[in-house]
A and B are shown apart, each in its own frame.
Chain A
């Protein structure tokens, strides 16, 4: 590098920006707007317009975060994690009920979901933890593996209890992914897999009734075609209706006529696949893959462990979101309530992901 980094001015910082990443993310959010316009029956209201505004706000926030030097995040990561954990723990006590689950906290009139804060906080905390540990041999020592597992498991368990199985899976997946990237010995992973296999028979006891029902329905959707199996059956009809090249924009009968439940949130991918067909669905999948590849390339170029792990953690988060969501709507895994980031209507997931992207972009800059 040929410029004086500490004195880099705003213009330099902007030039350094991963514009391709922002362009693809914006394209995905645009696809979200276009799809939400269609599922509303060809109307900007009530979803497409708000979705666009939310994305612009989240993008501004991400760029703002990217401007902040990443050492600030690094130094506050531990505290951030503890605050997030405190909020998460407060939910069962002072949380607000919505749709049979306690997920929200009302702070000064603003509703927040502590688990969303935790998703970002966990990535930062683990990145910082492994940066402090300094090498993979120490990272593989039992006490540190146990420590890392604890800071993953505590928020994950609190989240399962809310109940929010989707977010818990996301926390666990991202956390374990960071541990793997940080170089924790493969023996630990092998042992963990063996333990999990042994624990599967006992899992049903830990699940809520509705979660168990979803898994049962997943295994046999015809058991209850108008009840819990309805999501899966209707999604399958709409996907089939899409075919290779789709019904055409604004022509998706199944998603527009409300047959596909949650067509604007968790099942929005079905609407895309119905109107644009297999070609459109794979294109969207490829755009996500592009974002993930850009992030991994950024992570590999990073000059610090904290930066590399933060960026990779963001890539993992996006991967887990997309994989679970599409696997869910195509009936490969049970319906767990994970949105498709940037496309699904709903502010929380988008803001979480954009904050993570902002932190990744911040880490990308040479500190």
Chain B
């Protein structure tokens, strides 16, 4: 230090001479300490800047979740009601006891709760204790359901005084219940109503209340298909909580919005009658046992699904109990739990000829009057393709080819038209797709093959199987064989679209009676071609030589003033090569026999109902499926006249040319 004041020199009183620098040492070191101090405080300020400003929002975001707890209030699920107001699914109010784990719930608390609850609910105390401790160890603990399914009386009988303090709450909840129905009704409705079940991993993100272990969502049937209508919107109560998890005050409250009741287009009585009729199909015919297969009845104007049968079916109430009966159903090789009407993949067979016919006409590859020769078989590129009629149909035009289901005609029509145009027409008619708004689940899309599809499939499987689209594949697709797969629901939609000329969209949820009928867009097909096609479909049933004459409901269902005519198309879809190459004298094993199909609509002149039928391994469509169609039409008319006095849709039929 250059300047040392007079007071400084007295720093060391006794020996100023020995250490003249000591005051300077003190000053120097004090400055060092001061600078170190400034550095340390600067470091602290920098740390605060880092925590509060640079990374503040990241930590601050935790503050909100830290101080609030949201208790979700599950919405009451909508009921399911049949077309005549019969209750098919409803709810029952029950109570459950839930522990909301909180910081500060200690092992002794847990032991006390476990000891108190275990004798009342028959749970092992140690097991309950272990469950609680596991839950408490989570960073963000889920509520633990201590007891469920309690009635109001059970709750009243419980003395919960000693556990009341430990965030144990009694919560009301609604359990799905299905009213008692007759066994036949249970079987008839099993695939339609469906069931609810625990939330799967994929659906967990659909709503925060679904994370509750007691939450249920629709799994099958209308329960799954109309989930968005039925489920409603969860309510919530947000509490401000302190560090121990105690509720300080209510920050926000929003009531749950109950799910909408869903009224079905299905009338239980009709559904049961259709199921019963279907169950007797094929008796004494080719089938040597109960039939398996599916039937779908559509109201053409609205797209309403009036009946939907899938056999074999199951007792829904027994299956929902999830007991041994459920396991028996899952193990049954006949697969009764599968809804064949919406997920059964069947080659459409000759019913697909309607698609090929329209595609060829629209593309101009065949004309209505043009005749194509059939000699029982035809050869393209070295491969021979047979007609079902080995004797051939000689020269046929489109009308006759459809009436008699000539294969050669459609081989040639498909060859000329090409697979892409056929696939476009199939999609236009409703094949190869699921109907997301139909209100029924699950559904499968079927398969309308195209060269693009084959390429993508080949690239996914082994590269060695990569061959281009073959002509033979177009030719087989032309008669609904090869790769083509459809579901009975899709076939019914196709039939309804051809009958109406509009893009009918199926639904199992009834529209509000005040709403206007849905306005279905017209098909992109010329009216001339549709009229010609319909005339041919009527000929299938009503003209000599038609393959579907057994579908004629006969004189039984006379509507007021006259006989009703129907129209349709038979289909016999080949399941195994054996049926084509067989020695016709030997019977085939059941699983190798052809599927019998019939699709049609009634009445022929003013279509109201569209029906698709698939009878697995029942033989030919004309002999096995067409009679069932006739019976179903009689049933529908009887049901119709019994319920509604039929409007005068019974003008005398025009003569067909």
A residues sitting closer than 8 Å to B (CB atoms) are 134-137, 177, 180-183, 225-226, 234, 236-244, 253-254, 257-259, 261, 273, 277-278, 281-282, 285, 288-289, 292-293, 296, 299-301, 303-305, 308, 312, 316, 319, 322-323, 326-327, 330-332
Tell which of B47-55, B317-325, B446-454, B556-564 binds the partner. B47-55
The answer, among B14, B58, B240, for a CB contact under 8 Å with A240, is: B58
* Cα-based distance from A327 to B248 in the complex (angstroms): 32
Query: Assuming A239-B59, A240-B62, A254-B67, is B12 touching A135 (CB within 8 A)?
Result: yes
Contact B44 A285 (CB under 8 A): yes
Contact A226 B29 (CB under 8 A): no
Closest Cβ–Cβ distance, residue A145 to chain B (whole Å): 16
Query: Assuming A259-B67, A281-B52, A304-B11, is B33 touching A181 (CB within 8 A)?
Result: yes
Contact B56 A239 (CB under 8 A): yes
Tell which of B15-23, B182-190, B421-429, B503-511 binds the partner. B15-23
Chain B, 1-55, CB within 8 A of any chain A CB: 7-8, 10-12, 14-15, 18-19, 22, 25-27, 29-30, 33-34, 37-38, 40-41, 44-45, 47-49, 51-53, 55
Closest Cβ–Cβ distance, residue B335 to chain A (whole Å): 50
Asked if B86 CB lies within 8 Å of chain A CBs, one says: no
Asked if B139 CB lies within 8 Å of chain A CBs, one says: yes
Closest Cβ–Cβ distance, residue A261 to chain B (whole Å): 8
**Chain B residues, Cβ within 8 Å of A299:** 30
Contact B29 A180 (CB under 8 A): yes
Instruction: Name the residue on B nearest A325 (C-beta).
Output: B44
Interface centre among A182, A236, A240, A301 (most CB of B within 10 A): A240
Instruction: Name the residue on B nearest A246 (C-beta).
Output: B52
Contact A305 B11 (CB under 8 A): yes
Contact B60 A282 (CB under 8 A): no
8 cross-chain pairs, A with B, having the tightest CB-CB distances, nearest first: A240-B59, A135-B19, A258-B243, A241-B63, A240-B60, A241-B60, A278-B52, A303-B7
**Chain B residues, Cβ within 8 Å of A326:** 44, 48
* Cα-based distance from A166 to B25 in the complex (angstroms): 30
* Cα-based distance from A308 to B240 in the complex (angstroms): 54
Interface centre among B27, B41, B57, B58 (most CB of A within 10 A): B41
Contact B52 A323 (CB under 8 A): no
Query: Assuming A134-B14, A254-B66, A304-B11, is B48 touching A281 (CB within 8 A)?
Result: yes
A-B residue pairs in contact (CB < 8 Å), sample of 10? A135-B19, A181-B29, A237-B59, A240-B57, A240-B59, A240-B62, A257-B241, A259-B243, A277-B52, A289-B41
Contact A258 B242 (CB under 8 A): yes
* Cα-based distance from A177 to B34 in the complex (angstroms): 11
Closest Cβ–Cβ distance, residue A192 to chain B (whole Å): 16
Please report the total number of B residues contacting A with Cβ < 8 Å.
48
Contact B244 A258 (CB under 8 A): yes
Instruction: Name the residue on A nearest B19 (C-beta).
Output: A135
**Chain A residues, Cβ within 8 Å of B38:** 289
**Chain B residues, Cβ within 8 Å of A240:** 51-52, 55-63
**Chain B residues, Cβ within 8 Å of A225:** 139
**Chain B residues, Cβ within 8 Å of A330:** 44, 47-48, 51
B residues sitting closer than 8 Å to A (CB atoms) are 7-8, 10-12, 14-15, 18-19, 22, 25-27, 29-30, 33-34, 37-38, 40-41, 44-45, 47-49, 51-53, 55-63, 66-67, 103, 139, 240-244, 248
* Cα-based distance from A312 to B32 in the complex (angstroms): 13
**Chain B residues, Cβ within 8 Å of A226:** 103, 139
Query: Assuming A180-B29, A241-B60, is B19 touching A136 (CB within 8 A)?
Result: yes
Contact A285 B7 (CB under 8 A): no
**Chain A residues, Cβ within 8 Å of B33:** 177, 180-181, 296, 312, 316
* Cα-based distance from A253 to B242 in the complex (angstroms): 9
* Cα-based distance from A327 to B63 in the complex (angstroms): 21
Instruction: Name the residue on A nearest B48 (C-beta).
Output: A281
* Cα-based distance from A253 to B240 in the complex (angstroms): 10
**Chain A residues, Cβ within 8 Å of B40:** 319, 323
* Cα-based distance from A301 to B33 in the complex (angstroms): 16
**Chain B residues, Cβ within 8 Å of A253:** 63, 66-67
**Chain A residues, Cβ within 8 Å of B19:** 134-137
Query: Assuming A299-B30, A319-B37, is B48 touching A244 (CB within 8 A)?
Result: no
* Cα-based distance from A40 to B537 in the complex (angstroms): 87
Contact A183 B37 (CB under 8 A): no
Instruction: Name the residue on B nearest A263 (C-beta).
Output: B243
The answer, among B8, B22, B48, for a CB contact under 8 Å with A273, is: B48
* Cα-based distance from A301 to B47 in the complex (angstroms): 33
Closest Cβ–Cβ distance, residue B528 to chain A (whole Å): 75
**Chain A residues, Cβ within 8 Å of B45:** 282, 285
The answer, among B15, B56, B62, B67, for a CB contact under 8 Å with A243, is: B56
* Cα-based distance from A327 to B40 in the complex (angstroms): 10
Closest Cβ–Cβ distance, residue B138 to chain A (whole Å): 10
